[in-house]
Amino acid sequence: MLTAHAISKDNLKKSFEKGASYYVPKDEINNTDVFLADILEARERNKNVFVKWYERLSGFCDRRFGPNWKDEDPEFWNSLLGY
């Protein structure tokens, strides 16, 4: 998902609900090749693409939204990550 919208918890969630395989914040746009490789590898191995996204970008989201950013909707985030 590439968007001109500022990253927010709501925009992030909406993007995934609408079918985005990945959400790349503007601050991380230079790493798009890495993120694309993650998506392709996960799909090739029949793995959840969001797990690698979370591994790579959860720290970014923690800094941006606070360490408990997923607590507003834990059911959604746990489902997305396959917990």
Rounded Cα gap, residues 45 and 77, in angstroms: 22
DSSP state of 1: -
| Tokens at 80, concatenated | 């997305």
Residue at 63: amino acid letter: R
Q: What is residue 19's predicted lDDT score, i.e. its pLDDT?
A: 86
5-21 pLDDT, tens digit per residue, is 678 898 889 888 998 88
71 pLDDT more than 90: yes
Position 34 confidence tier, pLDDT thresholds 50, 70, 90: very high
Q: What is residue 21's predicted lDDT score, i.e. its pLDDT?
A: 80
Helix (H, G, I), strand (E, B) or coil at 8: coil
Average pLDDT of the residues in 49-67: 91
Rounded Cα gap, residues 74 and 3, in angstroms: 24
| Tokens at 47, concatenated | 């793995």
